[in-house]
Structure 1
Amino acid sequence: MTIGPELLRINDLSIAFPLMQGRLQAVKSASLRVLPGKVTALVGESGSGKSVISQAIMGLQPAFADVRGQVLFADPGASKASAAPVDLLKLPRDGRQLRAIRGSRIGMIFQEPMTSFSLLHTVGNQISEALRVHTTLSPAARREECEEMLGLVGFSDPRRVFDMYPFELSGGMRQRAMIAMALICRPALLIADEPTTALDVTIQAQILKLLRDLQEKMDMAILLITHDLGVVANIADEVVVIYQGEIMESGPVGPIFRAPKHPYLKGLMAAVPHFDMPKGERLKPLREIVVDHQTLLGGLTAPVAETAVAAEPVAASAQAAAVRPADVTAPREKAGGFPEVLLSVRNLRKTFQTRKQDWKVGRAAPQRPAVDNVSFDIRRGECLGLVGESGCGKTTVSKILMRAVTPDSGSVVFDDGAGPIDVLAARGDDLQALRTRVQMVFQDPVSSLSPRMSVGSILSEPFDIHKRGTRAARKDAVSALLKVIGLDPSAARRYPHSFSGGQRQRIGIARALALAPSLIVCDEPVSALDVSVQAQILNLLKDLQKDLGLTYLFISHNLAVVDYMADRVAVMWAGKIVEIAPREVIMRSPAHPYTRSLLEAVPYPDLDRPLNFARAGESSTASSAGWAPAFRDDGGGRDLAPLDLGGGHFVLARKSADLSEVQP
């Protein structure tokens, strides 16, 4: 069989896994193609079979998998004698012919670069391994090739990076190194499995620009596996939509986005938050979570309140339930008639010291603060969004608020109506009470839940630690919590590994709700979830905020998500808050150039609003040199101060700047 101009043709691919409960059909008669020099996007939810297909192409599927069909690869670099398409499924899994193709003619970028690198070997050693296996180059020539490729993927000092270890690189840098490793043998086909999922918008834009530029320079085809429709709209030539192992729709990117035919694709598009949503409009997940949120106020707090120690948080929760988000959207400029401040943060500063010494003078090199003079308020009942790129200090701020990191200076005062508590100085009973009133939802729902504990034990643990209620009351409370997040009470007997990513994240939310807190810190709670599950979680968080009067600090790098969730938004860059304002102001008329660059880096799932790769692909450090003088810091931070633009809008600018210099 010939496949004409196609580089890769998959015909009737079926993949099944034998399990104790029965046979799992992961892929069902899937067919798709990848054209030379083009980008084909394979789009679908988690568990739809995308990654299983990529494993079958590379011959990396589990040995017990039952794989049927054809995966035909027509290598343009093969000799005329062997130019006919090769069925990769018929090649021995560990045979010489497949090993010659894998890593050389077909490269792969994996979703998580940290777990894909060995911690014991340098970056250069791991990149050069493919050259050692597939070429006869000398060690010196291999190093030269690796340094050249590291330069191509954007490293300014490839020689230094070659000798570094993966843990010394940031997430974006590790992803660049992973791309260098996949491309070192100049493959004809690159499989990119969720290459930008956990990256912030600026780094994501840089990686997308890099992939596009390398594709053109190397005349390479890409099979892009993703659930991000914004990425697809900006980089793909053809789109294949997969659902539960079956191809639902495929074709050129234009017809797919402008006139989708299949209900599943229409549902995916409706689940994506975007900046043009009318106020109050809800996301439309493919599967709604059916919950009764009043269960928490009735079924949860009543049984737990059997002990005296539970009365205070229950009262605080009831008091918070009277506050609604509509009450807190107006800026607090006058005394009276405005919501009180729940958490007040002033002048936080944190510098992390390293063991590396300045070899020139023999003393510790000066360190840039991770958090630099950060101040903000969170009002009762509101959601404050905290956005910025990786390394800007967002998570460090959240850890300081949770008492996981001690700042060098600054103050944090919490007051939910029971009297102010100095968060950083709290000890004894005050600290114990504070632990119940401030909770956290973590980014990774897998590592934040113990695999050795049942869901029931995970949810009852907060009651055990804080000595709340009787055993029967705790059991009832766990059932109530599971109902609140849309899970059956029978889920209490199961373990985290038996749930999907979205269900695990809901369990994490339930754990945070257990003690009826006044404030929940959400640290990237949906960054690792696909769009349909993300819509479920975001709607759940908004419903809980409305019904229970919760207050959120919502940390995210996804500005569309923040636009959907937040009442006000604070923007961080290089440890500083450079702008803070009501959500509508930040999203529609930002004043600071960094905020504008963040918004420009967001990929829209809209062909008529393409990403400006020339601007979005530039690092913030490089672009800051071109900022207007009013925003540049030439005095080590001493020249900058928050400038009040009115209406609760503040921007970090020179003290001598006037409104005309910074007005959007």
Structure 2
Amino acid sequence: MVSSTDLLRIEGLGISFAIIGGPIRAVKHASLRVLPGKVTALVGESGSGKSVISQAVMGILPHTAHIHGRILFSDPAKPGTTVDILRMPRDGREIRTLRGSRIGKIFQEPMTSLSPLHTIGNQVSEVLQIHTDEPAAERKARTEEMLGLVGFPDPKRAYDMYPFELSGGMRQRAMIAMALICRPALLIADEPTTALDVTIQAQILQLLRELQAKLNMAMLLITHDLGVVANIADEVVVIYHGEIMEAGPVEAIFRRPGHPYLKGLMAAVPHFDLKPGERLAAIREVPVNVENLLGKRKAAQSKSPEVLLSVRDLTKTFTTRKSDWLGKEHKTVIRAVDGVSFDIKRGECLGLVGESGCGKTTVSKILMRAVTSDGGSVVLKDEAGSIDVLSAEGAALHHLRTKIQMVFQDPVSSLSPRMTVQNILSEPLEIHGRGDARSRLATVKNLMQAIGLDQRSIKRYPHSFSGGQRQRIGIARALALRPDLLICDEPVSALDVSVQAQILNLLKDLQKELGLTYLFISHNLAVVDYMADRIAVMCRGRIVELAPREILLRKPIHPYTRSLVAAVPFPDLDRPMDFKMLNLSGATNTRAWGPQFRDEGEDDALTPLDLGGGHIVLARKTSDIRDLRPC
């Protein structure tokens, strides 16, 4: 019997999928509840069954799914009435009336969930067209009102925009507007902030909290981020391999975790309180064995120059062209990289942080010679001398490719699905003429051993590995040519927290054992704090602050750095996010910064000021250094 206080109650839910070789039991006898006006967080790793449960609630599971149990929904609009969603005819009128109207859903990836052929206004108002009899003018007015409610500064303009014209954060806001336009009693948010920057994530979290309170709406929040859970949830349900491990109020779960799996998840989260040398406690450790990989390279490196890579005044602009309805072409020049300078010392990890669009990846592509810069210089120093990275051609460029390698963000799209692991790892060796077939096979097996994968897996294809294993294969491919510098571009942003801990520990172990040098690019400050020795903060194509990690993250000077630090959600109930302190009108809104950080033209231009101890901040020439130092 469903409780009169429960909006949604799931009892004994089991979901399996029939495949060749036997059924897969995705969810095993799961039970949970969502209270009216409250947030229940469903927490677990990828493949644990979270999204499958949400699809069952929405009635959108594929026909191959076999379901048993009960999903009871008590609609506040119909007091005293409780319906079992699983007993409703699939795609019948009853379930279609609930779906979108009384139960809304925000999907994980807004770009693939929104139609690229229809405007934002068309897609949001379509929900009203399906579920109401309102005339077109009234639907448009309600849609524009909702777009304003979710934070679009100009709802009338946003109504006629297409998804590709919006940033990731704005596309997610459009998804929220679509889910809430009918004022549902229950909102299912499936990883709503996973693909977003930390400051955009803070905006979305604040928006969801405000809308939930304003609309008296309940929420089933699906996530693997315990920091998000601590800041927004009322109740927590922990799921592992389709089984509920632990459930209860957020206070009890975080202050007195009982199940070893939950304790393991909490220990795997990087945070600012980690002591120097302290490791993340990964749930499943990755053994590292590099004895046969690079020989005695560490000893040779000690004789090399201290500075490995020197970047000075790097610039890059992009020009976009757009024609108006008269056919007149308008050009817009975007300065993606604007006078970036930094050094990376041999054996250290330099973290490069900032929001999407700040120029981080463009810098990495310039270093890899994938993009041609407009100006500046990049010099790589090795045992043989200095290499001019930007002008290297022919044999020099071929040699340079072996010195700088990259680990990409997405382990799925960065590996060819048509190549086995052996082909993937041996390809760099074949391109650069390293060894014969027998020695290359031995190197591949050594690489597999170094990243903690079974050597017998070299004949398998990428699709047969998990996300974390695919990322390890990407790391092994980058190590195949024994590079001096490894550029890691958001290498863990697409991974669960437990798998993330594995990869971060692996990178630290490889750095220690092989003497590697990293440029680690990320928007997650807690991850960068764990990995980096020094951190450079990038905003609008410029490095606005650079300092050793212990200084920058604990005594930040620049307003943008402070916004980034304040936006990090901690998995700690005693350290809630201070939404008032955040510059939620946009961390890159320079008008909100102090006058000493705003560019006033050539007479008083911004310039890097040295505060001592390797701490550099971008401020006006006339700024008093004493005023910029932290209290």
What is the TM-score normalised by the length of structure 2? Answer: 0.97
Query: Any conservation in 2 of the 1:295–1:483 contact (CA below 8 Å)?
Result: no
Q: Which residue of 2 aligns with 1:215?
A: 212
Q: Which residue of 2 aligns with 1:332?
A: none
Q: SS at 2:257's partner residue?
A: coil
Q: Which residue of 1 aligns with 2:160?
A: 163
Distance 2:342 2:234 in 1: 44
Write out per-residue CA displacement over residues 413-458 of structure 1, whole angstroms, 9 at most, x where no aligned residue: 1112222111111110111011111111111111111111111111
State the 1:639 CA deviation: 0.8
Q: Which residue of 2 aligns with 1:253?
A: 250
Q: Which residue of 2 aligns with 1:601?
A: 567
Distance 1:456 1:638 in 2: 57
Query: What code does the residue aligned with 1:586 have?
Result: L
Distance 2:241 2:201 in 1: 27
Q: SS at 1:351's partner residue?
A: strand
1:474 equivalenced with 2:440 (yes/no): yes
Q: SS at 1:248's partner residue?
A: strand
Give the stretch that moved more between structures: 434-443 or 130-139: 130-139
Q: Which residue of 1 aligns with 2:290?
A: 293
State the 1:363 CA deviation: 6.5
State the 1:139 CA deviation: 2.2
Query: Any conservation in 2 of the 1:581–1:648 contact (CA below 8 Å)?
Result: yes
Write out per-residue CA displacement over residues 27-60 of structure 1, whole angstroms, 9 at most, x where no aligned residue: 1111000001000000111111111111111111
Distance 1:358 1:120 in 2: 19
Which of residues 576, 585, 590 is equivalent to 1:619? Answer: 585
Report the number of matched residues: 630
Query: Any conservation in 1 of the 2:289–2:449 contact (CA below 8 Å)?
Result: yes
1:234 equivalenced with 2:244 (yes/no): no
Query: What code does the residue aligned with 1:269 have?
Result: M
Q: Which residue of 1 aligns with 2:184?
A: 187
1:319 equivalenced with 2:312 (yes/no): no
Query: What code does the residue aligned with 2:424 have?
Result: I
Query: What code does the residue aligned with 1:546 have?
Result: K
Q: 1:397 to 1:358 in 2, by over 3 A?
A: farther
Query: Any conservation in 2 of the 1:316–1:518 contact (CA below 8 Å)?
Result: no
State the 1:621 CA deviation: 4.9
Query: Any conservation in 2 of the 1:202–1:619 contact (CA below 8 Å)?
Result: no
Which of residues 276, 279, 302 is equivalent to 1:282? Answer: 279
Q: Which residue of 2 aligns with 1:353?
A: 319
State the 1:255 CA deviation: 0.9
Query: Any conservation in 2 of the 1:17–1:65 contact (CA below 8 Å)?
Result: yes
Identity among equivalent positions (%) equals 69
Query: Any conservation in 1 of the 2:2–2:72 contact (CA below 8 Å)?
Result: no
Q: SS at 2:458's partner residue?
A: helix
Write out per-residue CA displacement over residues 224-252 of structure 1, whole angstroms, 9 at most, x where no aligned residue: 00111110000000000111111111111
1:59 equivalenced with 2:52 (yes/no): no
1:200 equivalenced with 2:197 (yes/no): yes
1:102 equivalenced with 2:99 (yes/no): yes
State the 1:368 CA deviation: 3.7
Q: SS at 1:261's partner residue?
A: coil
Query: Any conservation in 1 of the 2:321–2:331 contact (CA below 8 Å)?
Result: no
Q: Which residue of 2 aligns with 1:152?
A: 149
Query: What code does the residue aligned with 2:341 have?
Result: S
Distance 2:425 2:335 in 1: 37
Q: Which residue of 1 aligns with 2:26?
A: 26
Distance 1:276 1:360 in 2: 58
Query: What code does the residue aligned with 1:44 have?
Result: G
Query: Any conservation in 1 of the 2:350–2:534 contact (CA below 8 Å)?
Result: yes
Distance 2:2 2:99 in 1: 22
Which of residues 489, 498, 502 is equivalent to 1:532? Answer: 498
Q: Which residue of 2 aligns with 1:113?
A: 110
Distance 2:88 2:604 in 1: 66
1:387 equivalenced with 2:384 (yes/no): no
Q: 1:54 to 1:617 in 2, by over 3 A?
A: farther
Q: Which residue of 1 aligns with 2:474?
A: 508
Query: Any conservation in 2 of the 1:603–1:611 contact (CA below 8 Å)?
Result: yes
Q: SS at 2:42's partner residue?
A: strand
1:633 equivalenced with 2:599 (yes/no): yes
Query: Any conservation in 2 of the 1:15–1:65 contact (CA below 8 Å)?
Result: yes
Distance 1:564 1:200 in 2: 18
Q: Which residue of 1 aligns with 2:7?
A: 7
State the 1:286 CA deviation: 0.6
Q: SS at 1:67's partner residue?
A: strand
Distance 1:487 1:346 in 2: 39
State the 1:356 CA deviation: 2.1
Q: 1:97 to 1:361 in 2, by over 3 A?
A: closer
What is the TM-score normalised by the length of structure 1? Answer: 0.92
Query: Any conservation in 1 of the 2:305–2:382 contact (CA below 8 Å)?
Result: no
Query: Any conservation in 1 of the 2:7–2:75 contact (CA below 8 Å)?
Result: yes
Q: SS at 2:104's partner residue?
A: strand
Distance 2:25 2:329 in 1: 61
Query: Any conservation in 2 of the 1:209–1:617 contact (CA below 8 Å)?
Result: no
Query: What code does the residue aligned with 1:86 have?
Result: V
Give the stretch that moved more between structures: 381-390 or 162-171: 162-171
Query: What code does the residue aligned with 2:66 have?
Result: D
Q: Which residue of 2 aligns with 1:310?
A: none
State the 1:638 CA deviation: 6.2
Q: Which residue of 2 aligns with 1:74?
A: 74
Q: 1:186 to 1:491 in 2, by over 3 A?
A: same
Q: SS at 2:568's partner residue?
A: coil
Q: 1:358 to 1:165 in 2, by over 3 A?
A: closer
Q: Which residue of 1 aligns with 2:261?
A: 264
State the 1:190 CA deviation: 0.6
Which of residues 550, 556, 574 is equivalent to 2:540? Answer: 574
1:565 equivalenced with 2:565 (yes/no): no
State the 1:340 CA deviation: 1.6
Q: Which residue of 2 aligns with 1:452?
A: 418
Give ranges in structure 2 of 5+ residues lacking alignment: none
Distance 2:528 2:162 in 1: 34
Could you list the structure 1 runs, at least 4 aligned residues long, displaced by more than 4 angstroms after superposition: 315-318, 357-363
State the 1:206 CA deviation: 0.3
1:40 equivalenced with 2:40 (yes/no): yes
Q: Which residue of 2 aligns with 1:649?
A: 615
Query: Any conservation in 2 of the 1:15–1:26 contact (CA below 8 Å)?
Result: yes
State the 1:554 CA deviation: 0.3
State the 1:358 CA deviation: 8.5
Give ranges in structure 1 of 5+ residues lacking alignment: 299-314, 324-337
State the 1:476 CA deviation: 1.3
State the 1:140 CA deviation: 2.2
Query: Any conservation in 2 of the 1:317–1:518 contact (CA below 8 Å)?
Result: no
Distance 2:227 2:582 in 1: 14
Distance 1:496 1:93 in 2: 35
Q: SS at 2:318's partner residue?
A: coil
Q: 1:51 to 1:590 in 2, by over 3 A?
A: same
TM-align CA RMSD:
1.9
Query: Any conservation in 2 of the 1:340–1:379 contact (CA below 8 Å)?
Result: yes
Query: What code does the residue aligned with 2:571 have?
Result: P
Distance 2:469 2:222 in 1: 22
